[in-house]
Chain A
Protein backbone atom coordinates (compact mmCIF):
# COMPACT_ATOMS: atom_id res chain seq x y z
CA UNK A 1 0.00 0.00 0.00
CA UNK A 2 1.07 3.57 -0.63
CA UNK A 3 2.84 5.14 2.33
CA UNK A 4 4.65 8.39 2.95
CA UNK A 5 6.57 8.25 6.21
CA UNK A 6 8.14 11.45 7.47
CA UNK A 7 11.01 12.15 9.82
CA UNK A 8 10.39 13.03 13.43
CA UNK A 9 9.77 16.26 15.29
CA UNK A 10 12.48 18.89 15.39
CA UNK A 11 13.28 21.83 17.62
CA UNK A 12 15.42 24.55 16.06
CA UNK A 13 16.66 27.99 17.05
CA UNK A 14 15.74 31.17 15.18
CA UNK A 15 18.01 31.65 12.19
CA UNK A 16 18.86 27.95 11.94
CA UNK A 17 17.81 25.45 9.27
CA UNK A 18 15.72 22.31 9.42
CA UNK A 19 15.48 19.37 7.02
CA UNK A 20 12.41 17.14 6.85
CA UNK A 21 12.40 13.80 5.03
CA UNK A 22 9.57 11.89 3.37
CA UNK A 23 10.12 8.20 2.61
CA UNK A 24 7.79 6.85 -0.09
CA UNK A 25 6.82 3.21 -0.57
CA UNK A 26 4.16 1.11 -2.25
CA UNK A 27 4.26 2.86 -5.62
CA UNK A 28 6.64 4.01 -8.36
CA UNK A 29 8.42 6.93 -6.71
CA UNK A 30 9.39 8.61 -9.99
CA UNK A 31 5.82 8.65 -11.24
CA UNK A 32 4.29 11.23 -8.90
CA UNK A 33 5.21 14.76 -7.93
CA UNK A 34 5.76 15.36 -4.21
CA UNK A 35 4.39 18.57 -2.71
CA UNK A 36 5.17 20.10 0.66
CA UNK A 37 2.43 21.79 2.67
CA UNK A 38 2.68 23.22 6.16
CA UNK A 39 0.01 23.87 8.77
CA UNK A 40 0.63 26.45 11.44
CA UNK A 41 -1.46 28.34 14.01
CA UNK A 42 -1.02 31.69 12.26
CA UNK A 43 -1.30 30.92 8.54
CA UNK A 44 -3.25 27.64 8.45
CA UNK A 45 -2.47 25.38 5.49
CA UNK A 46 0.21 26.80 3.17
CA UNK A 47 1.52 25.28 -0.03
CA UNK A 48 5.33 25.51 -0.11
CA UNK A 49 6.28 23.91 -3.40
CA UNK A 50 6.89 20.66 -5.24
CA UNK A 51 9.69 18.45 -6.48
CA UNK A 52 9.45 16.10 -9.43
CA UNK A 53 11.20 12.87 -8.34
CA UNK A 54 11.80 11.86 -11.95
CA UNK A 55 13.55 14.99 -13.23
CA UNK A 56 14.44 16.78 -10.02
CA UNK A 57 12.57 19.85 -11.25
CA UNK A 58 11.27 22.11 -8.54
CA UNK A 59 8.67 24.86 -8.14
CA UNK A 60 8.60 26.94 -4.97
CA UNK A 61 5.91 29.24 -3.66
CA UNK A 62 7.10 32.85 -3.91
CA UNK A 63 6.82 33.26 -0.15
CA UNK A 64 9.44 30.55 0.45
CA UNK A 65 11.54 30.98 -2.69
CA UNK A 66 14.57 32.41 -0.88
CA UNK A 67 14.58 29.98 2.06
CA UNK A 68 13.43 26.55 0.89
CA UNK A 69 15.24 23.75 -0.92
CA UNK A 70 13.43 20.61 -2.10
CA UNK A 71 15.39 17.61 -3.25
CA UNK A 72 14.91 13.91 -3.80
CA UNK A 73 16.99 10.75 -3.57
CA UNK A 74 15.59 8.26 -6.04
CA UNK A 75 17.75 5.40 -4.73
CA UNK A 76 16.14 5.83 -1.31
CA UNK A 77 12.70 6.87 -2.69
CA UNK A 78 12.86 9.81 -0.33
CA UNK A 79 12.05 13.49 -0.75
CA UNK A 80 13.56 16.20 1.41
CA UNK A 81 12.56 19.74 2.29
CA UNK A 82 15.01 22.10 3.94
CA UNK A 83 13.91 25.48 5.31
CA UNK A 84 16.53 28.00 6.37
CA UNK A 85 16.47 31.30 8.25
CA UNK A 86 13.88 29.93 10.66
CA UNK A 87 11.58 32.33 12.47
CA UNK A 88 9.05 31.77 15.23
CA UNK A 89 6.18 31.81 12.74
CA UNK A 90 7.74 28.86 10.93
CA UNK A 91 6.58 26.72 13.84
CA UNK A 92 4.18 24.33 12.16
CA UNK A 93 3.46 20.76 11.11
CA UNK A 94 5.09 20.08 7.75
CA UNK A 95 3.47 17.54 5.43
CA UNK A 96 4.61 15.85 2.24
CA UNK A 97 1.86 14.76 -0.11
CA UNK A 98 1.70 12.95 -3.43
CA UNK A 99 -0.08 14.48 -6.41
CA UNK A 100 -1.95 12.03 -8.62
CA UNK A 101 -2.21 13.58 -12.07
CA UNK A 102 -1.74 17.31 -12.54
CA UNK A 103 -4.89 18.76 -11.07
CA UNK A 104 -4.13 19.04 -7.38
CA UNK A 105 -5.31 15.59 -6.47
CA UNK A 106 -3.24 15.19 -3.28
CA UNK A 107 -4.24 11.61 -2.63
CA UNK A 108 -1.72 10.43 -0.02
CA UNK A 109 -0.17 12.42 2.81
CA UNK A 110 2.66 11.82 5.23
CA UNK A 111 1.87 11.79 8.93
CA UNK A 112 3.37 15.26 9.39
CA UNK A 113 6.55 16.50 11.07
CA UNK A 114 6.28 19.12 13.82
CA UNK A 115 8.95 21.79 13.61
CA UNK A 116 9.20 24.08 16.62
CA UNK A 117 11.28 27.24 16.37
CA UNK A 118 12.32 28.46 19.78
CA UNK A 119 15.31 30.08 21.38
Chain B
Protein backbone atom coordinates (compact mmCIF):
# COMPACT_ATOMS: atom_id res chain seq x y z
CA UNK B 1 0.00 0.00 0.00
CA UNK B 2 1.41 3.39 -1.00
CA UNK B 3 1.36 6.37 1.26
CA UNK B 4 -1.22 9.05 0.63
CA UNK B 5 0.03 11.93 -1.52
CA UNK B 6 0.45 15.39 -0.03
CA UNK B 7 2.30 18.45 -1.35
CA UNK B 8 5.73 18.72 0.24
CA UNK B 9 5.22 22.32 1.26
CA UNK B 10 2.74 25.17 1.32
CA UNK B 11 3.08 28.72 2.56
CA UNK B 12 0.94 31.70 3.38
CA UNK B 13 1.01 35.05 5.10
CA UNK B 14 -0.61 35.75 8.45
CA UNK B 15 -4.36 36.15 8.09
CA UNK B 16 -4.53 34.29 4.80
CA UNK B 17 -6.07 30.87 4.17
CA UNK B 18 -4.30 27.80 2.86
CA UNK B 19 -5.45 24.35 1.81
CA UNK B 20 -3.48 21.11 1.99
CA UNK B 21 -4.58 18.20 -0.17
CA UNK B 22 -4.32 14.49 0.53
CA UNK B 23 -4.85 12.21 -2.44
CA UNK B 24 -5.45 8.49 -2.23
CA UNK B 25 -7.69 6.05 -4.02
CA UNK B 26 -11.12 4.49 -3.83
CA UNK B 27 -9.58 1.88 -1.52
CA UNK B 28 -8.79 4.40 1.18
CA UNK B 29 -9.68 8.13 1.13
CA UNK B 30 -12.48 7.69 -1.39
CA UNK B 31 -13.93 4.59 0.18
CA UNK B 32 -14.20 5.53 3.84
CA UNK B 33 -15.03 8.56 5.99
CA UNK B 34 -12.05 7.76 8.20
CA UNK B 35 -9.74 10.59 7.18
CA UNK B 36 -7.88 12.42 9.94
CA UNK B 37 -5.42 15.29 9.99
CA UNK B 38 -2.52 15.79 12.41
CA UNK B 39 -0.32 18.75 13.22
CA UNK B 40 3.27 18.13 14.29
CA UNK B 41 5.72 20.70 15.60
CA UNK B 42 9.45 19.84 15.54
CA UNK B 43 10.40 17.29 18.15
CA UNK B 44 6.80 16.81 19.26
CA UNK B 45 4.23 14.06 18.83
CA UNK B 46 1.44 14.50 16.28
CA UNK B 47 -1.71 16.28 17.46
CA UNK B 48 -5.17 15.38 16.16
CA UNK B 49 -6.75 18.34 14.36
CA UNK B 50 -9.56 16.78 12.28
CA UNK B 51 -11.20 13.34 12.38
CA UNK B 52 -13.82 11.60 10.26
CA UNK B 53 -13.10 14.01 7.38
CA UNK B 54 -14.49 17.18 8.91
CA UNK B 55 -14.90 16.90 12.68
CA UNK B 56 -12.84 18.96 15.10
CA UNK B 57 -11.85 17.60 18.52
CA UNK B 58 -12.63 19.72 21.51
CA UNK B 59 -10.04 22.45 21.92
CA UNK B 60 -9.02 22.71 18.27
CA UNK B 61 -9.57 26.13 16.74
CA UNK B 62 -12.44 26.53 14.28
CA UNK B 63 -9.90 28.03 11.88
CA UNK B 64 -9.18 24.41 10.98
CA UNK B 65 -11.63 22.61 8.71
CA UNK B 66 -11.65 19.43 6.65
CA UNK B 67 -13.48 18.18 3.59
CA UNK B 68 -13.36 15.41 1.00
CA UNK B 69 -14.21 15.07 -2.67
CA UNK B 70 -13.75 11.73 -4.34
CA UNK B 71 -10.32 10.35 -3.55
CA UNK B 72 -8.93 13.64 -2.24
CA UNK B 73 -9.28 15.05 1.25
CA UNK B 74 -8.39 18.61 2.15
CA UNK B 75 -7.40 20.55 5.25
CA UNK B 76 -8.06 24.28 5.22
CA UNK B 77 -6.56 26.67 7.73
CA UNK B 78 -8.05 30.14 7.73
CA UNK B 79 -6.68 33.26 9.39
CA UNK B 80 -3.14 31.88 9.41
CA UNK B 81 -1.15 32.50 12.56
CA UNK B 82 2.55 32.09 13.26
CA UNK B 83 1.83 29.17 15.59
CA UNK B 84 0.28 27.22 12.70
CA UNK B 85 3.73 26.73 11.19
CA UNK B 86 4.26 22.98 11.45
CA UNK B 87 4.09 19.72 9.53
CA UNK B 88 0.65 18.35 8.69
CA UNK B 89 -0.18 14.72 7.98
CA UNK B 90 -3.34 13.06 6.75
CA UNK B 91 -4.34 9.47 7.48
CA UNK B 92 -7.00 7.13 6.16
CA UNK B 93 -8.34 3.67 6.86
CA UNK B 94 -7.83 1.00 4.20
CA UNK B 95 -8.42 -2.75 4.22
CA UNK B 96 -7.89 -3.46 7.91
CA UNK B 97 -4.95 -1.06 8.21
CA UNK B 98 -4.09 2.61 8.17
CA UNK B 99 -2.19 4.81 5.74
CA UNK B 100 -0.47 8.13 6.35
CA UNK B 101 0.44 10.89 3.97
CA UNK B 102 4.03 11.95 3.41
CA UNK B 103 3.44 15.21 5.25
CA UNK B 104 3.24 18.88 4.25
CA UNK B 105 5.43 21.57 5.74
CA UNK B 106 3.44 24.76 6.31
CA UNK B 107 5.47 27.95 6.41
CA UNK B 108 3.88 31.14 7.68
CA UNK B 109 5.65 33.96 5.88
Residues of A within 8 A of B (CB): 35, 37, 43-47, 59, 61-62, 95, 97, 103-107, 109-112
Contacts and interface: CB of A to CB of B under 8 A. Distances in A.
Contacts of B91: 45, 47, 104, 106
B100 A103 contact: no
B interface secondary structure, majority: strand
Contacts, number: 60
B100 A47 contact: yes
B48 interface: yes
Nearest to A108: B48
A106 B71 CA distance: 21
Contact of A104 (B51, B89, B102): B51
A107 B100 contact: no
Contacts of B101: 44-45
Given A59-B96, A105-B51, A111-B45, A44 B34 contact: no
Contacts of B102: 44
Given A46-B100, A97-B46, 7 more contacts: A44-B101, A61-B97, A103-B34, A104-B98, A107-B51, A111-B45, A112-B45
21 contacts: A44-B100, A44-B103, A45-B89, A45-B103, A46-B100, A47-B97, A47-B100, A59-B97, A61-B97, A95-B46, A103-B33, A103-B51, A103-B52, A103-B93, A104-B34, A104-B92, A104-B93, A106-B36, A106-B91, A109-B46, A110-B45
